[in-house]
Amino acid sequence: MHLLKSSLERRTFLKGMGASVALPFLDAMVPAGRLSSAAADTDVTRFVGIEMVHGAAGCNEWGATQNLWSPADAGSNFDLTPSALAPLDPWREYLTIVSNTDVAGAEAVLPREIGGDHFRSSAVFLTQEHPKQTEGSDVHVGTSLDQMYAQRFGQDTPIPSMQLCIENVDQAGGCAYGYACVYTDTVSWASPTEPLPMIRDPRVAFDQLFGRGATPEERAQRRRTERSILDWVLRDLNDLNRQLGADDRVRMDRYVSTVREIERRIQNIEARNMSGEQRELAEAPAGVPDDYGDHVRLMFDLQALAFASDMTRVVTFKTSRDVSGRVFPETGVTTGFHAASHHGGNEERVLEFNKINRYHMSLIPYFFEKLQGITEGDTHLLDKTLIVCGSPMGDPNLHNHKRCPLFFAGGANGRLPKGGNHVIAPDGTPMADALLSAMHMLGMDDVDSFGNSRGALPLSVGRSEAVGGALR
């Protein structure tokens, strides 16, 4: 029960000086007895594309026999114990693992492209197209899946899509082997020639969500006062709360508390990084945590907030940069990420690399928990989200793109089968087939090809018998 004379618009903002805070979905947005357009808006599936780099230990010939990535059994009775995916086991009802798909677009086509796998792979992940080898501005690859979705379903949100990353991506010009750095630095392409920049700094992402309309000077002034962005919209917030029912007031309190908690974490990170103390990431912006896990979790928090407020429905998240030398102390492995990926096929070193893979996967359940904790209508956001996570590289020691890591997660508004499933594709199946299936789950049923796809890969069975895109 609310005290408003009419239903609240879904696209309602609390406004102050240079601050604009969108609201979560509230009962007050639904007129009694009928579904409003505001409620219908929330039935649009959210999409998250998460790119890993450097493939996985389980894509090595020996690692595959140990099931270090893909479980041994197809179907729903799979065992994740030895796998880097083991941290996801408590969430298996939301998990569809897709094994044995290849990313041909990342392979070298011409002799001069040999060796450049690290520098073209990211551009292929969500486009499944082969990048033009160039160090100039005449880049060309393909429109990425996330942008195809955003162009169709994201235009009525304030931010059609967000692109986030963890490591430095601001290198211009050429990187190596004749490839422009932009191929390495982004997974999102608005068109074959339009790469989209990715945001590394949580402060920038936060301001994008809650500082719309503010000038750089207003944002700087706000930060100098050390006040919360919520202080600038307090009058609107108090006026609204007086008109909401008890359940909505609880939702609003939880929502603004989350906004404030994330803002406070960013402020604390900035204060520490500007204190003069030595940093591990000396080149990073002040808002970037030195700790990898802290940074990933903060970016997941921002994604969950973006979905809760319906500021955007489309996010891509690049969790590392190819040839990154970053060390992850939490794993007990002292070798840098890229060096660890070149394990030489040595079993002990393959297992060390698997520890890094497992650590990265251990951070993802945090995101699942955040989405599951946000109710919207009669369910939660994990049920309304499709997450695609994978790598365009297979065995990094060989720089190949065979049997690449890939899984889907979430509920996709009922279009991703629940109960947990491991789909083993036939040898030679393009990853593009699986991504075409993802596009259909996102409502783009009229799309019949993507990249080098041969047809949508069936995901409702364990061992796919798709041949040339059709079921036997």
Q: What is the mean pLDDT of each run of 10 residues along the chain (472 residues)?
A: 60 78 87 50 86 97 96 94 97 97 97 96 98 96 98 93 92 82 96 97 94 64 69 85 90 92 95 93 94 98 96 97 95 97 97 98 98 92 97 97 98 90 96 98 96 94 49 29
CA 123/CA 186 separation, integer angstroms? 6
Buried-state track 405-416, b at ≥16 Cβ within 10 A, e below 16: bbbbbbbbbebb
By residue count, the chain amounts to 472
- pLDDT (0 to 100) of residue 331: 97
- pLDDT (0 to 100) of residue 152: 95
Question: Which 3 state secondary structure label does DSSP give 444?
Answer: coil
Q: Is the dihedral of CA 30, 36, 37, 39 positive or negative?
A: positive
Question: Which 3 state secondary structure label does DSSP give 165?
Answer: strand
Topology of domain 35-200+292-471 in CATH is Alkaline Phosphatase, subunit A (3.40.720)
Q: Cβ–Cβ contacts within 10 Å for residue 31, how many?
A: 13
Question: Which 3 state secondary structure label does DSSP give 102?
Answer: strand
CA 385/CA 404 separation, integer angstroms? 23
CA 385/CA 45 separation, integer angstroms? 5
> Per residue, what are the HEC states of 339-392?
HHHCCCCCHHHHHHHHHHHHHHHHCHHHHHHHHHCCEECCEECCCCEEEEEECC
Joined together, the tokens standing for residue 113 give: 């492209």
Domain residue spans of the chain: 35-200+292-471, 203-287
The pTM is what?
0.93
CA 352/CA 335 separation, integer angstroms? 9
Joined together, the tokens standing for residue 392 give: 């365009």
- Which residues, 6 or more positions from 275, have their beta carbon under 8 angstroms from its beta carbon? none
- pLDDT (0 to 100) of residue 17: 67
- pLDDT (0 to 100) of residue 14: 83
- pLDDT (0 to 100) of residue 33: 43
- Which residues, 6 or more positions from 60, have their beta carbon under 8 angstroms from its beta carbon? 68, 343, 345, 350, 395, 397
- pLDDT (0 to 100) of residue 471: 32
- Which residues, 6 or more positions from 371, have their beta carbon under 8 angstroms from its beta carbon? 304, 307, 380, 381, 382, 385, 410
Question: Rounded to the nearest 5 degrees, what angle is found at the Cα of 134, between the Cα atoms of 132 and 136?
Answer: 130
Determine how β-strand 421-430 pairs with β-strand 189-191.
unpaired
What is the DSSP secondary-structure string of 61-82? HHHHHTTSSS-SS-BS----TT
- Which residues, 6 or more positions from 335, have their beta carbon under 8 angstroms from its beta carbon? 327, 352
- Beta carbons of 415 and 81 less than 8 angstroms apart: no
Question: Which 3 state secondary structure label does DSSP give 43?
Answer: coil
Determine which helix (DSSP H) or strand (DSSP E) holds 21, and give its type and residue range: strand 19-22
Distance between alpha carbon 248 and the CA centroid of its chain, in Å?
Answer: 29
CA 249/CA 240 separation, integer angstroms? 9
